[in-house]
Structure 1
Amino acid sequence: MTPPLTTATPRTTPHPPAPGCPERPCVTELRLSAFAGHRGTAFPLGPCTLLAGPSGSGKTTALRAYEALAGLGGGARLDEVFPDPAACVPERARPDAQRRRGFRIGCTADGPEGPVRLDLAVQAEPELRVVGERLTSGRRVLLETALRDPGRRAVQAAWHNGGSVPVTRAPLPDDRLGTALLPLRVAGKTEGQRQVLAAAEQMVVALRSVFACDPLPGRMRTPAPAGSGHLLTGCDNLAGVLWRTREECARRHGLFVAAVRAGCAGTVTDVLAEAAADGTVRGSLDRGDGYRTGFGRLGDGELRYLALALVLLTGPGVLEVDPAGEVPAALQTLTVLADGFDRALDVPQRTELLRLAARMGERGHIRWVGAVSDASWAAGEEGITVVHLEP
């Protein structure tokens, strides 16, 4: 296993502790120890966080790393979350004598068990595989894995036992996150085993339920299929999902209309989703005077605003996410990753969405991580964590 990772924290704007975080597991720090253009970097994450910096500062890279950890926490294979592993290797990193190169990422999840830290070392070349993983709580190492035999597709794992035998050793697959596999391997009979299970569950629950959102206005202007199910990452099927949410909860739809009214030009009395004879659904804004503006006539900023507001006012049951089904929804937190959050939005729209995200974050149900080129417009807003990145 690699030695303990060191981190260098970018300049941040302080934020108050997240209400409800001890009861709801949540990721409070993302670490890119050696990942693409990042080295020794740590990002503190609050209920509502903005990663701010110019093009090339690594904002998108950070969000992709977070999304990859979320996928691993949900049981995905390495090749599913890192389709281009060579791009994750730090720039100018030289291979060792065995021609191996890799990267290191990690995170901290806070919750009932206190801060739990996960650090992961991945070999990208010549074969994609986990070469080391460490799960710690305080000063105690709960799980540690290492690649002992390069000829085997497994890592040797050791986890805290707390019984007559202090450590249990067994092989684990080298293409998955060991922490996510612990509930299938640990019996939970001793106090030490229960501690391992609780910490692993906290980490997995904190990582799951992530929705990466980047609305694509060009696709949102076309009618959506009726019964289109969950909202897609690009929000292509916004009108179809709106058809569903409008019928499911009148109160939530009322909040959505109020948010749209604050961010769109002209009078807005309702946001409609109407079925057409061809089986599609078309969205429109009701202007209250008998006139309706179809989504096809709205500008890019208005459509992105509509989509992001709907995301903030819905949840895992509406979005295309992978929640931890074995954990009650009341104990889970949805994390939204919004790359290019400020794209095509004017300052009033950005501010309104940020305030909405902060209000939802206060309740503990949702966390928001958005990438912006400049965050000066957010100065003075309460409950916002701003992380400044430099190229």
Structure 2
Amino acid sequence: MTVSSVTSPEAPAAAEARPDRPGVTELRLAAFATHRRVRFPLGPLTLVAGPSGSGKTTALRAYEALARLGGGATLAEVFPDPVTCVPERARPDAQHRRGFRIGCTVDGPEGPVRLDIAVQAEPELRIVGERLTGGGQTLLETALRDPGRPVVQAAWHTAGSSAVTRGPLPDDRLGTALLPLRVAGRTAGERQVLAAAEQMVLALRSVYTCDPSPHRMRPAAPVGAGRLLRGCDNLAEVLWRTRSECAHRYAHLVAAVRAGCAGPVADVAAEPVGDGTIRVFLDRGDGVRTHLGLLGDGELRYLALALVLLTGPGVLEVDQAGEVPAALQALTVLADGFDRCLDARQAGELMRLAARMCERGHIRLVGTVSDASCAFGVAGATVVDLEP
């Protein structure tokens, strides 16, 4: 399998200044499931295309895994069935160990920062090696020294009285995410380590995974926290909330629905009913209202994805970095099957909406598609083609 990438020639020239908001610019699958030595270049708006079985979903799975590790989750939480991540033909070593390797690069105020991790899946799940690099320096490096202990030996850049500081880190969590708790920041080297680690973690944890499930969106939704679930089960409730909170943004959503749904659309009405649930209707403008449950799968997925692109962390179910100003964060949406159930018109409208929102810098999108033609001529779109 080969990977080729194309960025729309209409995309604006990249600025030489470092980006204010950290973002993942490359995903690396050195050895992960069906992928070996594969690099995915990622822009603000990236589509991964290829035939069924080419590994599109696997790539997003690896990205989400890195995101969850960056947010502090344990390996067991992120990889409940780690053997499925091991390349099929990977042979165990003399100690019967097999594993996988993934990594990424994040660009931001500190420049490009690279993270690579090696995970042992068998006979027990653990991180056996991690490397964080930036500015021409190895900032953190870990290695498994004693298989009998649940720790790895870590060494991080100090550049003080000694070049590095050494200490143990747990083998079930990402060491980079733990550095702010272990590094004092007394020397210039330690401050460099902290800045790089914080940039990496900020980019990774600001991720929302979205895969709208039409059959779950059709029933009325109970009133709850008002944050959109990854399957968009509570779409009706979130539409009701967003309508009352931001009329300007909701007007943009109505315009998007009008462009992508069949028939006239004067408004998208969300209203509570007596049993404590919320129902949504498309107001056709002539006294006719179409209940959400009567829409087709493509219309429902289109509506849900448009809502995701037009809202933000306050509405989506995502662990936002509360200690960092919103102006310095960019939310990354992972959308597997971005064009699933959509016709050509809907896919094109959604791509143009995504391009407008990504250009503003507050949102990034990585989606998988079976057909990348919807990205042709869309400014700033990067298409990564998984060729068999």
> TM-score by structure 2 length?
0.97
**Structure 2: where are the runs of 5+ without partners?**
none
- Does the alignment pair 1:107 with 2:114? no
Identify which of 41, 44, 65 aligns with 2:38.
Answer: 41
Return closer, same or farther for 1:319/1:107 CA change in 2, 3 Å cut-off.
same
Q: Is 328-337 or 19-28 further displaced after alignment?
A: 19-28
Q: Deviations over 1:255-291 (max 9, x none)?
A: 1111111101111111111111111001111111111
2:114 is the alignment partner of 1:130: no
Q: Which residue of 2 aligns with 1:363?
A: 360
Matched-pair contact (CA < 8 Å) for 1:228–1:237: no
- Structure 2 match to 1:380: 377
Deviation sequence 1:45-87 (CA, Å, 0-9, x none): 0111000000100000000000000000000000111111000
The correspondence of residues 234-383 of structure 1 with structure 2, limited to 5 A, is 234-383=231-380
**8 Å CA contact 1:18, 1:46 repeated in 2:** no
**Offset, 1:325:** 1.6
Residues 270 and 286 in structure 1, CA contact (< 8 A), matched pair in contact too: yes
In the other structure, the counterpart of 1:208 is 205
**CA distance, structure 1, for counterparts of residue 261 and residue 209 of structure 2:** 24
CA distance in 1, matches of 2:222, 2:250: 20
Deviation at 1:18, TM superposition (A): 6.0
SS at match of 1:261: helix
Aligned-residue offset at 1:228: 4.2
Displacement, 1:376? 2.5
Alpha-carbon contact 2:2-2:387 (below 8 Å) kept: no
Match of 1:96 in 2: 93
Q: Is the 8 A contact 1:43 1:387 kept in 2?
A: yes
Conserved 8 A contact 2:351-2:374: no
Identify the match of residue 5 of structure 2 among 12, 22, 34: 12
Write the mapping of 1:24-63 to structure 2, written as runs, cut at 5 A: 24-63=21-60
How much does 1:390 deviate?
2.5
Match of 2:3, SS state, is coil
What SS does structure 2 have at the residue aligned with 1:324?
coil
Shift of the 18–320 alpha-carbon distance from structure 1 to 2, 3 Å rule, reads farther
Structure 1 residue 9, shift from structure 2 partner: 7.3
Residues 277-331 of structure 1: per-residue CA shift (max 9 Å, x gap): 1110011111111111000110000000000000000011111111112111111
Retained in 2: the 8 A contact 1:120–1:132? yes
Distance change in 2, residues 1:187/1:228 (3 Å): closer
Counterparts of 2:54 and 2:156, CA distance in 1: 37
Q: CA deviation at 1:227?
A: 3.1
The secondary structure found in structure 1 opposite 2:5 is: coil
TM-fit CA distance, 1:121: 0.3
**Structure 1 CA distance for aligned equivalents of residues 207 and 65 of structure 2:** 10
When structure 1 is superposed on structure 2, of 20-29 and 336-345 the one drifting more is: 20-29
Structure 1, 159-168 or 11-20: larger mean CA deviation: 11-20
For 1:192 and 1:243, locate their aligned partners in 2 and report how far apart those are by CA, in whole Å: 50
Q: Unmatched 5+ residue regions in structure 1?
A: 1-7
Question: Within the alignment, does 1:389 sit opposite 2:386 as a pair?
Answer: yes
Aligned pairs for 1:55-94 (under 5 A) are 55-94=52-91
Deviations 1:73-123 (A, max 9, x none): 000000111111000001110100000000000000000000000000000
Name the SS for the 2:115 alignment partner.
strand
Listed one character per residue, the Cα deviations across residues 363-388 of structure 1 (whole Å, up to 9, x for unaligned) are 11000011011212322222100000
Match of 1:121 among 118, 123, 143: 118
CA distance in 2, matches of 1:350, 1:386: 15
In the alignment, the residues of structure 2 paired with residue 132 and residue 126 of structure 1 have an alpha-carbon distance, to the nearest angstrom, of: 16
